[in-house]
Structure 1
Amino acid sequence: MTVNTSRRGFLKSAAAAAAVLYIGARPNGALAAGAAPAQLNPFVRIDTSGTVTAIIKHFETGQGPATGLSTLIAEELGAALEQVQYEFAPSDPQLFNNLAFGPFQGTGGSTAMANSFMQYRQAGAAAREMLIAAAAQSWDTDPSALVIENGIIKGAGRTAPMGEFVAAAAQMEAPAEPRLKEPGEFRLIGNTAVRRKDSLIKTNGSAKFAMDVHLPNQMVVVIARSPRMGGSAAGIDDSSAKSVKGFIRAAILPNKAGVAVYAENTWAAFQAREALSVDWDFSAAETRSSDQIREELLAAVNSAPQYNVNGADQAATAALIDSADTVLDRTFYFPLLAHAPMEPLTCTIEATEDGGVLLHDGCQMPTVPHMAVAEILQLPQEKIRVNTMLAGGSFGRRATPTSDYQAEAAMAFALTDRSRPVKLVWSREDDITGGYYRPAVAHRVRVGLDAEGSITGWDHRIAAQSILKGTFFESVLVHDGVDATSVEGVADSDYRIPGMFVGLTDTAKATTVLWWRSVGHTHTGYVMETMIDEAARIAGRDPVNYRLAMLEGGSKHQDRLATVLKLAAEKAGWGKATEGRSQGIAVHKSFGSYVAEVVEISGTAEEGVRIEKITCAVDCGIPVNPDVIKAQMEGGIGYGIGHAMRDQITLTGGEVDQFNFPDYEPLRIGDIGAIEVHIVPSAEAPTGVGEPGTPPSAPALANAIAVSGPRITELPMSENGVSFA
């Protein structure tokens, strides 16, 4: 790599003054070192004490990037993981962009490890080579004779802490292509003994989440929102609110979507909001109920589709199915679902001395609120800073194209003289009724089977409320009118299915729909895996062997799906369930990962089903942190199954019926007897783990129930013929 004279001169003078080594990658991928992070794209910082700081460009909501990315740096650098601390990157899409998203900083789509794997390894490796070069120069020895182990440089009969060579290393050129360790050299990557770096602080209460922000002289703001999507505030009467101790004022937001209620503390803000009288204008508001929405979706899948997704001849497919020995025809319906993270939405805005503002937020996509806050407050981008904090769950909720809650906070701040910080707080009820949901979706699938039970044709129609249309993601992920998130998991299925036609129809949105853990795969995985399972049962063939026969195309994807399928079946003792128990299986690829799950149940749908055990096999490429992978599979399984068991969001006259966990009940720890996770060893590049555990979970449960009970084609199960013990 070539460094120009002015850059080199800057690095030397800065290093001498600050004695801190920064390593990162410029947008073109070249590595650089120096003492001023503003000049680089830094991922790792080392000071003269030997303290290593990993700069984490992805937010942490429990899915593990703070541990995973720190592990990559520690591995290549030669430091102990205990020597590496972490901090979240500032908002800067040019430096900290998600490589899967383009010039955009954000976390989502289970991309954190996949897009950062080489970046963070290269940064750690570059730091290692530079520190070794500095030590070799000081000791007058060959760099190849030196290594770094647990932060100590060793070789040529000498040892020293690596911090002693930070100042000298900071004046050197960074290697353009540092040598990365071979898998056989890994000490931390793939090590089952490595534990999360944030477990202790989350256990002892010292972890700081966005809800924990309490700034001097801050005001707390809550928003009175329209009970119907699309309603607007026409007027307010705050005379009763004025009697609430701590109430400051109430004001209609500039967009008229709600009323900001300001108070000295959270309790006063909520009490004042209850006392506030708002005159709502519902002339443009949603008035449909869930039954109407359901009927619209079902009508759409029973009509000619709006879009031909895969370019197949629908008439030819219909002919194949109609001439088959057996025709399997099923219609599915999936209701709206809330995300319901444990930490409700919140963020805080305060003024800074340079005339800008600082946003404290468990920020999933810093680029979007950064731009939104700048526009609302009429400030230049460089005057906005984002302090990304820990987030207590998201499942997609904290990543809205509209920056809904951050925009509310910015508008509330704009309505003040900006002398006091403003902390926006949502209640659990605000979140459940907040209008951002997994869309309602319907499927109709007609499958033709020959005399041996093999598939001869597959007509698959989907009707959905598009997540991406009308957002800035539309230009990237909507092609020829097709929202990719509506059909993923069907249109790109790796099963060998002859004569397959896929059609899509968009329907009017009743609410603001949003990606939900595993997005379209939440419903497409369910439909594909329950249909394949039913076809296998009709054919009188073992569901595992039936699937394996459909994965014999020889592609890498098919082979990896077959591997996890066989592993899950083997570890679960497929076909050997004790008397009184049934097993169901499902396998699905999403976000680059391959997951198979076996659910074993006891009881009956009428008397009560109990989930005794779930066995999971996952291939997510190189397993960087097995402990994190295991936890994410467990969490994804529980999330998918819990919602399939009993959750839905319903509307009456456009208003949400559910309010809190008593009527939108999350999975309970006693709902699942045991979960066992098996990770496939792999040398492939790492892929996602935050979401892929969710799609196979509900269909595996449904397939277990169907062994001796009903086929569930409409969710939640508890509303459609299944009780749980």
Structure 2
Amino acid sequence: MSNLSRRRFLFGAVSAGAAAGALVVGWGVLPARQRLHASNPLPLTDGAVALNGWVAVAPDGSVTIAMPRCEMGQGVHTALPMLVAEEMDVPLASVRLVQAPLDAIFGNIAMLQDGLPFHPDDDGALQAGTRWIVGKVARELGIVITGGSSSVKDAWLPMREAGAAARAMLVTAAASQWRAQVADCRTGNGYVLHADGRKLAYGALAAAAATSQPGAVRLKSPQDFTLIGRAQPRRDTPSKVDGSAVFGIDVRLPGMAYAAVRMAPVIGGVVASVDSSAALQMPGVLRVVDFSGAIAHLAGAGAGVAVVARSWWQAKQAALALVITWRDGAHAGLSSEAVFAGFAASLDREAGYAYHQAGDMDIVEGKGSNVARTIGAEYRAPYLAHVAMEPINCTAQVNDGKVHLWAPTQAPGFAVKAAAQAAGVSPEAVTLEVTLLGGGFGRRLDVDMVAQAVAIARMMDGVPVQTIWSREDDTGHDVYRPAALARFSATLDGVGHVLGFDCKSASGSVSHQFFKRNLGLPAAGPDKTTAEGAFDMPYELPNQRIRHVIVDSAVPLGYWRSVGHSHNAFFKESFIDELAHAAGRDEVAFRRALLARHPRHLAVLDAAVARAGIAPEGRAHGVALHQSFGTIVAQVAQVSVEGSEIRVHRVVCAIDCGLAVNPNIIAQQAESGVVFGLSAALFGAVTIKDGKVEQSNFHDYPVVRLNQAPVVDTIIMASAAHPEGMGEPAVPPVAPAVANAVFKLTGKRLRSLPLTLSI
């Protein structure tokens, strides 16, 4: 059964009523699908022999590893090979990578499990059972995808098990050849070593190992690690320095043409007519293609027309010469003001879905006899674009009923499906080569650009075509981080203790849109991403309620680095600071009092505050604590204000992400997250007017420049816990830490992003 067929069966069964429910329960008690042996063989060369679905060994002793996740700067081409090399006892330098085939064993289980709307402190049987079932569903679906800060977390066991199994097979083969006991053999540096001094290289044993039958396979204990937990240089750095690294935009093929696009300026607009006569007379132009029909079900790209030419500049100039009449459609009057007015009306009218509720709701609503006062506040956050440095691009060739793709994508399976639909072929007729990504941040989880590129290439009689968007195309046709509005209220007693805490927010749903356009699933039910970072906070407030109202969004929405945490952390941590001020308490002491049963959170907070020390004269420290993707982060931002300019000089970032596989990469991720989050905090805003995105390039959608970037001081807490996510958790705390520092300096509570001060 294909992945798509399994997907339809499983999701259909879950919703098909009692009979299907009985089938699911029966299926749920069966053993979980294995993740060691793939249905499809690894693509191997140089006489390498596969020992399982993940690992192969060549005669020269080099080890080939299947890479199931894409490299978009987060370091998986270093961190994931470390897991296998550790268990195999081979030098990291001897490891080669090949793109993993689209097989279920490479599916991302952790990402789907992390989507469950459970509070981290809830660890009962219901939660454990649900995670087990979702894990089994995820194994069946086998969705190969990179996102949710899940790469190391998901690979931690299967890739180590693959390495350990390969090591056991090699040891068994050596013992058999020596007619020795396995117990008398050990491994090291790519060799099997006998107690009497004999040794055999892995390369010499590979063929025999492939048919060996080892006994129990045991993973190394952490105290025996020689690679994991130690800083290793990034394997992708040399090629990026010398220019040999191949990103999507670097693909070059014989006879390749280039396509530039014009897309409907109004959200949901369509092409009414096109006059291409002038464009077709311009140098290098080969064809004009209306690709609208191929991407009708996908957000972002929208309807439009492409010009194919011998060079991209020729294509771009000719695209500007097209005379296009657009039919704007139902959203021509849409504006940011109307969106937020709709949020406010929904909050007034609807109760919302309660993601977390505990204690006495009368106290939450201010009805308790010991309630002395109520504090309220309203926060808002705008739409945000991804603006990855590598522009949106995809190269496609359609020839003889087959499609060949070269794409910087986070979702290979979705890309293959979209290409097949656009070309009118089966998924088996699509070949995909995943290149390096010049930034993803969630934008390349969507595959609108893939369908668009294939629709264009389909009209080119076998000529490969590289479709490239300009920065203006990218900014104006993104799938955006949702705008959101949140209302908070808290009840306090006479001495400033928080009695009740209430939060209700409104926004569109990323997951509803994403799964509808990529999996054909109905847009219904709660969406954890809307309330994450709010309902799952660690603060020990005895009476609390966190709700969310999903408001249908005409604006296309997508996953943006740290998703709902990106704005909910700002809302929550700013309001916590407001409560500390209202209670007359120091903001750190106030937080510490609410974390008595959360020692890991306390330790992270204390570490960040201690490292930050005392703020220099004229500056202030703002504090924020937030957990996302399993990782706890505390940040202290050192801020100054000069006129209306907010300047961030230093950010101390303390992190508990479980066992640190490669501390070097974790520090890089922290620095990246701080700068990414600070760009959104100080500058980021996509606004809608007359149905159009108003921003177009970095002049009106700025990001932090080098001279504006703070020093980032990273603390990695020692831990032996299971590794958690690290690609995103440093992003959410930045905005509230800065806003809280600004309040100290100015007395102004900034409740909207981006953070702006008027003189």
TM-score after normalising by structure 2: 0.86
Is 1:370 the counterpart of 2:410 in the alignment? no
Following superposition, the deviation at residue 527 of structure 1 comes to 0.9
Mapped to 1, the partners of 2:433 and 2:240 lie a distance apart of: 19
Mapped to 2, the partners of 1:370 and 1:359 lie a distance apart of: 8
Alignment of 1:58-457 (within 5 A): 58-90=69-101, 92-100=102-110, 101=112, 102=138, 103=141, 104-155=143-194, 156-173=196-213, 175=215, 177-192=216-231, 194-255=232-293, 257-310=303-356, 317-320=364-367, 324-351=371-398, 355-400=401-446, 403-417=447-461, 419-457=462-500
SS at match of 2:536: coil
Following superposition, the deviation at residue 243 of structure 1 comes to 3.0
Structure 2 vs 1, CA of residues 625 and 473 (structure 1 numbering), >3 Å: closer, same or farther? farther
Mapped to 2, the partners of 1:715 and 1:36 lie a distance apart of: 49
Mapped to 2, the partners of 1:310 and 1:345 lie a distance apart of: 38
- Contact map agreement 1:33 1:174 (CA 8 A) in 2: no
**Aligned residue among 657, 672, 680 for 2:709:** 672
Q: In the alignment, which residue of structure 2 is the partner of 1:5?
A: none
SS at match of 1:63: coil
Structure 2 vs 1, CA of residues 130 and 372 (structure 1 numbering), >3 Å: closer, same or farther? same
SS at match of 2:274: strand
- Contact map agreement 2:247 2:438 (CA 8 A) in 1: yes
SS at match of 1:695: coil
Following superposition, the deviation at residue 608 of structure 1 comes to 3.2
Gaps in structure 1 of 5+ consecutive residues: 1-25
Is 1:597 the counterpart of 2:644 in the alignment? no
Following superposition, the deviation at residue 94 of structure 1 comes to 2.1
SS at match of 1:62: coil
Q: In the alignment, which residue of structure 1 is the partner of 2:652?
A: 615
SS at match of 1:715: coil
SS at match of 1:128: helix
Mapped to 1, the partners of 2:522 and 2:654 lie a distance apart of: 32
- Contact map agreement 1:321 1:448 (CA 8 A) in 2: no
Q: In the alignment, which residue of structure 2 is the partner of 1:644?
A: 681
Following superposition, the deviation at residue 174 of structure 1 comes to 5.3
- Contact map agreement 2:86 2:228 (CA 8 A) in 1: yes
Q: In the alignment, which residue of structure 1 is the partner of 2:730?
A: 693
SS at match of 2:456: helix
- Contact map agreement 2:472 2:697 (CA 8 A) in 1: yes
Q: Which stretch shows the higher mean deviation, 630-639 or 666-675?
A: 666-675
Q: In the alignment, which residue of structure 2 is the partner of 1:45?
A: 56
Alignment of 1:525-604 (within 5 A): 525-552=569-596, 554=597, 558-573=598-613, 576-604=614-642
Mapped to 2, the partners of 1:478 and 1:67 lie a distance apart of: 38
Following superposition, the deviation at residue 300 of structure 1 comes to 3.3
Is 1:635 the counterpart of 2:682 in the alignment? no
Mapped to 1, the partners of 2:594 and 2:440 lie a distance apart of: 36
Following superposition, the deviation at residue 40 of structure 1 comes to 9.1
Following superposition, the deviation at residue 35 of structure 1 comes to 11
Residue identity matched to 1:290: S
Following superposition, the deviation at residue 50 of structure 1 comes to 0.6
Q: In the alignment, which residue of structure 1 is the partner of 2:121?
A: none
Q: In the alignment, which residue of structure 2 is the partner of 1:20?
A: none
Residue identity matched to 2:238: L
Mapped to 2, the partners of 1:321 and 1:659 lie a distance apart of: 51
Mapped to 2, the partners of 1:244 and 1:89 lie a distance apart of: 43
Structure 2 vs 1, CA of residues 512 and 286 (structure 1 numbering), >3 Å: closer, same or farther? farther
Mapped to 2, the partners of 1:584 and 1:95 lie a distance apart of: 44
Q: In the alignment, which residue of structure 1 is the partner of 2:116?
A: none
SS at match of 1:717: coil
Q: In the alignment, which residue of structure 1 is the partner of 2:65?
A: 54
Q: In the alignment, which residue of structure 2 is the partner of 1:501?
A: 545
Structure 2 vs 1, CA of residues 697 and 278 (structure 1 numbering), >3 Å: closer, same or farther? same
Structure 2 vs 1, CA of residues 30 and 144 (structure 1 numbering), >3 Å: closer, same or farther? farther
Following superposition, the deviation at residue 544 of structure 1 comes to 1.6
Structure 2 vs 1, CA of residues 126 and 321 (structure 1 numbering), >3 Å: closer, same or farther? same
Following superposition, the deviation at residue 57 of structure 1 comes to 0.3
Percent identity between the two aligned chains: 35
Q: Which stretch shows the higher mean deviation, 561-570 or 278-287?
A: 278-287
- Contact map agreement 2:398 2:404 (CA 8 A) in 1: yes
- Contact map agreement 1:40 1:95 (CA 8 A) in 2: no
Residue identity matched to 1:167: A
- Contact map agreement 1:68 1:113 (CA 8 A) in 2: yes
**Aligned residue among 701, 713, 720 for 1:683:** 720
Residue identity matched to 2:353: Y
Mapped to 1, the partners of 2:729 and 2:357 lie a distance apart of: 27
SS at match of 2:333: coil
Following superposition, the deviation at residue 440 of structure 1 comes to 0.8
Following superposition, the deviation at residue 364 of structure 1 comes to 0.5
Residue identity matched to 1:336: Y
- Contact map agreement 1:57 1:88 (CA 8 A) in 2: yes
Mapped to 1, the partners of 2:349 and 2:52 lie a distance apart of: 52
Mapped to 2, the partners of 1:670 and 1:324 lie a distance apart of: 48
Cα shift readout 1:177-235 (whole Å, capped 9, x = no counterpart): 4111111111110102x111111111111100011111112221222100011000011
Structure 2 vs 1, CA of residues 53 and 638 (structure 1 numbering), >3 Å: closer, same or farther? same
Structure 2 vs 1, CA of residues 32 and 237 (structure 1 numbering), >3 Å: closer, same or farther? closer
Mapped to 2, the partners of 1:647 and 1:630 lie a distance apart of: 24
Question: What's the C-alpha RMSD, in Å, of the aligned pairs?
Answer: 2.5
Mapped to 1, the partners of 2:324 and 2:457 lie a distance apart of: 21
SS at match of 2:500: strand
Cα shift readout 1:81-100 (whole Å, capped 9, x = no counterpart): 1111212223x142421123
SS at match of 1:513: coil
- Contact map agreement 2:87 2:219 (CA 8 A) in 1: yes
